[in-house]
C-alpha cells in the first residue's frame, strides 16, 4: 500500500484521526489484518515501532501514556495477536493507564465462518477495557478513534479497544473486487442470491463513507471533588497533630500538572510517602518525603490522606491505618476510595487537583517556621536516616560476587540527573525501590497493582520513544528479563539506547525466600547464571558481564558511554544472596 494516497482507505481514516490527536508513534507487531493502518500512519509521518511480542507493544503504549499524559497507541493483528495482549491490557486497566489498542479482525462477511485467525474477540477483550468498539462501517472508524481517546482519559483512565475488520481498512475498489470474486459468476438461484447479498453488504460498509468530516479532538472529562469534601478535609488536617500523605500513580495522571502538584505538596507541609508513578514527584532529597518505615508512620498518624491510593494489599487492606485516625481518600474511583475501608472524607475526583485545591487554602509553610507538624516530620526523618545507615551497613557486606544493595548504591551514584528508571522484577527490583531515588516527576515506571513481570522492555521502549532526552535504565530481575529479552532486537533495529541492569542471582528469589522457609523446598525457583549479556550481543546490542564488586563502577560507566553512542546495552551482574527482604511476601 506504499503508493496509496491519504484518505483513500479506512486505514488512513484511522491514521488521520491519530494524527489529529497528536499521536507520534504506534507500537505494533505486523499482521495482514492491520497493514493498511500501519502504511497510512507511516505516510502521515507517524513513527512505527515494531516489536517481537504483542504484549510488548501494549506495554510500550502504556508507558508512553504514563510519561506523556496522552493515550499510547498499539496495533496488533487478529486472533492470537489480540490474545497475546491480554496480560498487558489487564495490567494497564489495573494501573488505570489510558491507551488505545487497535485490533485486526476477519472480514465482516466471513466472521464466524472459519476465516483465518477469526474468533469472537469481544468476550476475550471486553473485561479488560473501558469499552470494546466493534466496527461495521468505514464511516465509523475515525469517530471511534475520537471517542476512544476521550474515553480512555475521562473519569478513571484505562485502555480502550477498537476492532477493525480488514475489509473496512482497504480501499473501496479493492474490497468490491474481493467480494465480487468471492461471489463467483454462477447463474443458479443461490449464486445470484449470494451476489446480491454481498453487493448489499459492501454497499452498507461504504455507505456515507465518502465525505468524512475532519477528525475532532473531543473534550476529556476530568472529575473534581466537590467543595464539601475539600472543606471537610481542610478541617480535619487543621486539627491533626500527626498528619500523613500517601500519593500514588493516579494523582499524576494529569502529566502537565506534575510540577504544580509538587509545589502544592510542598506548600501543604505534610510528611509524604510516594508510590508508583508518583515516585520522584518531589525530586531526590525533599525534606517532606519519607522513604522508610511507612507502616509504622501510618499506624502513628492521626490523619491520613490517601491521594490516588486504594486500601489494597499494599496497605494491608487498610489495616496499616489505625481505626482512630481520620482517613481522607481522594480518588477518581468511588470504589477504590472505599475499598476495604470506609474513609471519613471521600473526595471523589482527580487526586492531584484535590491536593492543589487543598494547598490553595493553606498558608505556605515558609510563613510558619514553627510548623505544628515540624516535630512529627523530624521524627520521621530521623527514622529514615537510621534506616539509611542500616542499608549502608548491609551494602558494605562483601561476598563471593556482588552485593545487590551495593550495586544499587553504585547505580544511584552513576545514573544521570535525567535518568528514567523502569522496574521489572521481584526481589531485586523491590530492593531497588528502597535504594534508588527517582530524579524527578514521571521518572519511575513499575507495573502497578497487578505485579506483572515482563513489562521491562516494553515500558523502556515507550518511555524512550516518548522522552528521547531521557537516559532510560531497566532494572531487571533475572527471572523477569526472560520475558522481554528478545526486544533487544527491537532496540537495535530502532536505535533506542536503553541500559539494562540484570540482577542475576540465579533464582526466582522473591518466591524462594518464603517457599523454602515454609515448605523446605526450592522446587521451580532455581535458575542458572545465564549469559544474558551474550544473548543481547546476538541481537546486535552491547553486553557486559560483572561477577565481582570491584568491577561494578567501571561497568556502569562503560554502559552509559555506550548508550551515549546510541547503542543499547545490558549489564549482567552476578549477585550474592541477601536477607534484605526477608518476610516480604505479599498476598
For residue 448, give the nearest of 433, 437, 465 by alpha carbon: 433
Determine which helix (DSSP H) or strand (DSSP E) holds 240, and give its type and residue range.
none
Partners of 330 in the β-ladder: 307, 347
Tell me what percent of the residues of the chain surpass a pLDDT of 70: 95
Range of weakest confidence among 212-221, 315-324, 420-429, 465-474? 212-221
Task: Return d(Cα 438, Cα 90) in angstroms, integer.
Answer: 26
Summarize pLDDT for 373-414 with one digit per residue, the tens: 999 999 999 999 999 999 999 999 999 999 999 999 999 999
555, 557, 562, 565 alpha-carbon torsion, rounded to 10°:
-170
| Rounded CA separation 383/183 (Å) | 77
Q: In whole angstroms, what is the distance from residue 372 CA to residue 482 CA?
A: 51
Can you tell me the distance from the alpha carbon of 522 to that of 515, in angstroms, rounded to the nearest whole number? 7
Contact, 23 vs 462, CB < 8 A?
no
CA distance 202 to 156: 38
Give 114's pLDDT tier (boundaries 50, 70, 90): confident
**What's the pLDDT at 104?**
96
Measured from the Cβ of residue 114, the count of other Cβ atoms closer than 10 Å reads: 8
Can you read off the three cell numbers belonging to residue 46? 507517524
Least confident range from 117-121, 381-385, 436-440, 500-504: namely: 117-121
The answer to whether residues 99 and 502 touch, using CB atoms and an 8 Å cutoff, is no
Nearest CA-CA partner of 373 in 270, 485, 228, 501: 270
Q: How confident is the model at residue 185 (pLDDT cuts 50, 70, 90)?
A: confident
Label residue 448 left, alpha or beta by phi (over 0 means left) and psi (-120 to 50 means alpha).
left
Count of C-beta atoms within a 10 Å radius of residue 170 = 21
Bridge partners of residue 168, in order along the sequence: none
Cβ–Cβ contacts within 10 Å for residue 583, how many?
8
Which of the two residues, 211 and 563, has the higher pLDDT score?
563
Query: Looking up cell 551494602, which residue turns up?
Result: 395
Quick: pLDDT tens for 132-162: 999 999 999 999 999 999 999 999 999 999 9
Domains in the chain, ordered, with CATH? Answer: 10-206 (3.40.50.970), 227-379 (3.40.50.1220), 396-574 (3.40.50.970)
Instruction: Out of 191-200, 284-293, 485-494, pick the least confident.
Output: 191-200
Q: What pLDDT does 583 receive?
A: 56
Residue 357: in which H helix or E strand, if any?
helix 351-360
> 3-state class of 60 per DSSP?
helix
Cα distances (angstroms) measured from residue 557 to each of 91, 258, 561? 33, 31, 6
Question: Residue 577 phi/psi, 5° resolution?
Answer: -80, 150
Who's near 391: CB < 8 A, 6+ residues apart?
A: 405, 434, 435
**50 Cα distance to chain centroid:** 18
Position 209 pLDDT exceeds 80: no
List, in sequence order, the alpha helices (H) in 187-257: 189-206, 227-239
Residue 280 to residue 502: CA distance in whole angstroms: 22
Phi (first) and psi of residue 322, to 5 degrees: -65, 150
Residue 210: per-residue pLDDT: 59
Length, in residues, of the chain: 587
Our separate counts of H helices and E strands in the chain read 23, 17
Does residue 366 surpass a pLDDT of 70?
A: no
Residue 143's contacts (CB-CB under 8 Å, 6 or more residues apart) are none
Among candidates 565, 564, 563, 545, which has minimal Cα distance to 555? 545
What distance in Å separates the CA atoms of residue 480 and residue 547, rounded to the nearest whole number? 20
CA distances in angstroms from 227 to 234, 345, 348, 351, 378, listed in the order given = 11, 12, 11, 13, 32
Give the pairing type, strands 419-424 and 444-445.
parallel
pLDDT tens digits, one per residue of 319-338: 999 999 999 999 999 999 99
pLDDT of the residue at 362: 83
Q: Is the pLDDT of residue 5 over 60?
A: no
The residue among 505, 448, 497 whose CA lies nearest residue 476 is: 505
- φ, ψ at 432 (rounded to 5°): -60, -35
Q: C-alpha cell of 545?
A: 558481564
How buried is residue 286: exposed, middle or buried, by Cβ count under 10 Å (0-12/13-18/19+)?
A: middle
pLDDT greater than 50 at residue 2: no
CA–CA separation, 220 vs 113, rounded Å? 39
CB 31 within 8 A of CB 164: no
Structural contact between residues 456 and 474, judged by C-beta atoms closer than 8 angstroms: yes
In sequence order, the 6+-apart residues with CB closer than 8 A to the CB of 231 are none
φ/ψ region of 418 (left if φ > 0, alpha if ψ in -120 to 50, else beta) reads alpha
- E strands along 478-526, which residues? 499-504
Choice between 268 and 199, residue whose per-residue pLDDT is larger: 268
Amino acid at each position: 500500500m506504499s503508493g496509496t494516497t491519504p484518505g483513500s482507505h479506512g486505514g488512513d481514516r484511522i491514521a488521520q484521526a491519530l494524527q489529529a490527536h497528536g499521536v507520534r508513534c504506534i507500537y505494533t507487531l505486523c499482521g495482514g489484518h492491520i497493514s493498511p493502518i500501519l502504511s497510512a500512519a507511516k505516510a502521515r509521518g507517524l513513527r512505527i515501532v515494531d516489536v517481537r511480542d504483542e504484549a510488548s507493544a501494549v506495554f510500550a503504549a502504556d508507558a508512553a501514556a504514563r510519561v506523556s499524559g496522552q493515550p499510547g497507541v498499539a496495533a496488533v493483528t487478529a486472533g492470537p495477536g489480540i490474545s497475546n495482549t491480554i496480560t498487558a491490557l489487564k495490567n494497564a486497566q489495573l494501573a488505570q493507564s489510558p491507551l488505545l489498542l487497535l485490533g485486526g479482525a476477519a472480514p465482516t462477511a466471513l466472521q464466524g465462518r472459519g476465516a483465518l485467525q477469526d474468533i469472537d474477540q469481544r468476550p476475550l477483550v471486553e473485561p479488560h477495557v473501558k469499552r470494546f468498539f466493534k466496527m461495521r462501517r468505514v464511516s465509523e472508524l475515525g469517530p471511534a478513534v475520537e471517542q476512544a481517546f476521550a474515553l480512555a482519559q475521562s473519569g478513571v483512565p484505562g485502555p480502550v479497544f477498537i476492532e477493525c475488520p480488514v475489509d473496512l481498512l482497504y480501499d473501496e475498489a479493492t474490497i468490491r473486487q474481493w467480494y465480487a470474486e468471492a461471489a463467483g459468476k454462477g447463474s443458479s438461484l443461490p449464486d445470484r442470491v449470494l451476489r446480491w447479498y454481498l453487493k448489499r453488504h459492501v454497499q452498507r460498509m461504504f455507505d456515507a463513507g465518502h465525505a468524512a468530516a475532519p477528525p475532532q479532538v473531543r473534550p476529556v472529562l476530568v472529575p473534581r471533588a466537590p467543595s464539601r469534601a475539600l472543606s471537610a478535609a481542610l478541617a480535619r488536617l487543621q486539627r491533626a497533630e500527626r498528619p500523613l500523605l500517601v500519593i500514588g500513580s493516579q494523582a499524576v495522571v494529569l502529566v502537565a500538572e506534575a510540577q504544580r502538584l509538587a509545589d502544592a505538596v510542598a506548600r501543604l507541609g505534610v510528611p509524604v510517602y510516594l508510590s508508583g508513578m508518583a515516585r520522584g514527584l518531589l525530586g531526590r532529597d525533599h525534606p517532606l518525603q519519607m522513604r522508610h518505615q511507612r507502616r509504622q508512620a501510618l499506624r502513628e498518624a492521626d490523619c491520613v490522606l490517601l491521594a490516588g491510593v486504594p486500601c489494597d494489599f499494599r496497605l494491608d487492606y487498610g489495616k496499616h491505618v489505625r481505626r482512630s485516625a481520620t482517613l481522607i481518600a481522594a480518588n477518581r474511583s468511588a470504589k477504590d476510595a472505599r475499598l476495604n475501608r470506609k474513609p471519613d472524607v471521600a473526595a471523589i475526583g482527580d487526586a492531584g487537583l484535590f491536593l492543589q485545591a487543598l494547598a490553595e487554602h493553606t498558608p505556605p509553610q515558609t510563613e510558619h517556621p514553627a510548623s505544628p507538624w515540624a516535630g512529627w516530620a523530624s521524627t520521621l526523618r530521623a527514622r529514615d536516616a537510621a534506616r539509611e545507615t542500616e542499608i549502608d551497613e548491609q551494602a558494605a557486606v562483601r561476598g563471593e560476587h556482588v552485593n545487590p544493595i551495593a550495586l544499587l548504591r553504585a547505580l544511584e551514584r552513576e545514573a544521570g540527573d535525567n535518568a528514567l528508571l523502569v522496574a521489572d522484577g521481584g526481589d531485586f527490583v523491590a530492593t531497588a525501590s528502597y535504594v534508588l531515588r527517582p530524579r524527578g516527576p514521571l521518572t519511575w515506571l513499575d507495573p502497578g497493582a497487578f505485579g506483572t513481570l515482563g513489562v521491562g522492555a516494553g515500558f523502556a521502549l515507550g518511555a524512550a520513544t516518548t522522552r528521547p532526552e531521557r537516559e532510560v535504565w531497566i532494572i531487571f530481575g533475572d527471572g523477569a528479563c526472560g520475558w522481554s529479552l528478545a526486544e533487544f532486537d527491537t532496540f537495535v533495529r530502532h536505535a533506542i539506547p536503553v541500559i539494562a541492569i540484570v540482577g542475576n542471582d540465579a533464582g526466582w528469589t522473591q518466591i524462594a525466600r518464603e517457599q523454602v522457609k515454609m515448605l523446605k523446598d526450592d522446587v521451580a525457583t532455581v535458575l542458572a547464571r545465564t549469559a544474558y549479556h551474550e544473548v543481547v550481543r546476538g541481537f546486535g546490542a552491547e553486553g557486559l558481564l560483572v561477577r565481582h564488586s570491584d568491577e561494578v563502577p567501571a561497568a556502569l560507566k562503560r554502559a552509559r558511554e555506550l548508550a551515549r553512542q546510541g547503542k543499547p546495552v545490558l549489564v549482567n551482574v552476578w549477585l550474592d544472596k541477601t536477607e534484605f527482604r526477608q518476610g516480604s511476601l505479599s498476598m
